[in-house]
Amino acid sequence: MLNQSYTFKILWLCIIFSSCLSSNPYESAQQKLAPIYPFKKPAQKGDWLYTRIDKYQSLNDYIKSKPTSTDSIRKKIYIMLIGDFDSTQKEIVTGTAEYLHAFYGLQIDFIEMRKDADIFANSRKHPTQGQLQLSAKQIMNVVLKPQLPKDAATLIALTNYDLYPENSWSYIFGLGSTKERVGVWSMYRFGDPHKKEQKEQCLMFTIKTATHEIGHMFSLPHCAKYECCMNGSNSLRELNSHPTYFCPDCLAKICWNLNQDVHANLERTENFWLKRNNVTAKEVYQKSIERLSK
């Protein structure tokens, strides 16, 4: 039987331990933000989650998984362009780079692809549509990995060619490695930015896919709990229905990983949308900042 003073010591230790847990600023932000973010809508036929289960991962599980992160040397996001981009397409690239800087809070640099890089190895013609498709895995393994700069947290390629991940798939918007710090995404299916009515939507799709793939590169899995930028997408319709923002769970994970203040992240991202006058996104950030300030 425990004596009384020993029991009190254990009680005090429990109180101290539980107060440590609840003072974790990322967990606390997650809890404060949770009530204002909508849960994931039930999947419709053809949606990513209609035939798949994306397992829930808590903040603690993410921490325990030792995710890919930045360090004192690896602290930039590099972007490599694959294909010829005209000035209109480059505006989409610049807008996306600005968003990535706001959201991830890291310096964004561009890197030129080596002239001898073989982007067409394992490329194919789409089985029914006929267009040339680059192999996303080939780009990651043969083009990006050998050029990964020493100070890169991640290196992501943006291409205007269509992509496929493996022969049984029709296409893919993007692919990011959760361990090897490389990824690739494509603008091919995001509409024609030269058409005025499609330009903003092309930017939104590009931002969503880049943010999502870089999330994977920082070892975030797909999110199935909330409507979230880390939701899996099977189609442009589904991608269109996903938000640009991260849910409270994914936001807490990425801010913990990059050692960033959640409030500062929300303010930077809100400023990006304020400049672009995007009413929907800006409302989410305003509400979130208000919740965190309480």
CB 249 within 8 A of CB 59: yes
CB 249 within 8 A of CB 223: yes
Q: Is 29 in the site for Zn ion (CB under 5 A)?
A: no
- Binding residue (CB under 5 A) for Zn ion from 49, 117, 140, 250: 250
**What's the rounded Cα separation, in Å, for the pair 248 and 114?**
39
- Judged by CB under 5 A, which stretch of 21-29, 38-46, 201-209, 241-249 contacts Zn ion? 241-249
Nearer to Zn ion, 113 or 236 (CB): 236
Q: Is 134 in the site for Zn ion (CB under 5 A)?
A: no
CB 96 within 8 A of CB 259: no
Q: Is 247 in the site for Zn ion (CB under 5 A)?
A: yes
Report the first-to-last Cα separation within the chain, whole angstroms.
Answer: 45
- Judged by CB under 5 A, which stretch of 20-28, 50-58, 118-126, 242-250 contacts Zn ion? 242-250
Nearer to Zn ion, 70 or 233 (CB): 233
Q: Is 224 in the site for Zn ion (CB under 5 A)?
A: no
Q: Is 77 in the site for Zn ion (CB under 5 A)?
A: no
- Judged by CB under 5 A, which stretch of 37-45, 120-128, 225-233, 255-263 contacts Zn ion? 225-233
- Binding residue (CB under 5 A) for Zn ion from 158, 207, 230, 284: 230
CB 81 within 8 A of CB 155: no
**Smallest distance, Zn ion to C-beta of residue 18, A:** 26
How many residues appear in the chain? 294
Number of residues that bind Zn ion (CB under 5 A): 5
**Smallest distance, Zn ion to C-beta of residue 250, A:** 3
Q: Is 254 in the site for Zn ion (CB under 5 A)?
A: no
Q: Is 49 in the site for Zn ion (CB under 5 A)?
A: no
CA distances from 195 to 137, 165, 201, 204 (A): 31, 29, 10, 15
Q: Is 262 in the site for Zn ion (CB under 5 A)?
A: no
Q: Is 252 in the site for Zn ion (CB under 5 A)?
A: no
Nearer to Zn ion, 162 or 213 (CB): 213
**Smallest distance, Zn ion to C-beta of residue 183, A:** 10
**Smallest distance, Zn ion to C-beta of residue 83, A:** 22
Q: Is 284 in the site for Zn ion (CB under 5 A)?
A: no
**Smallest distance, Zn ion to C-beta of residue 249, A:** 5
CA distances from 55 to 34, 139, 176, 203 (A): 19, 28, 18, 30
Q: Is 220 in the site for Zn ion (CB under 5 A)?
A: no
**What's the rounded Cα separation, in Å, for the pair 78 and 210?**
12
State the residues that interact with Zn ion by CB under 5 A.
223, 228, 230, 247, 250
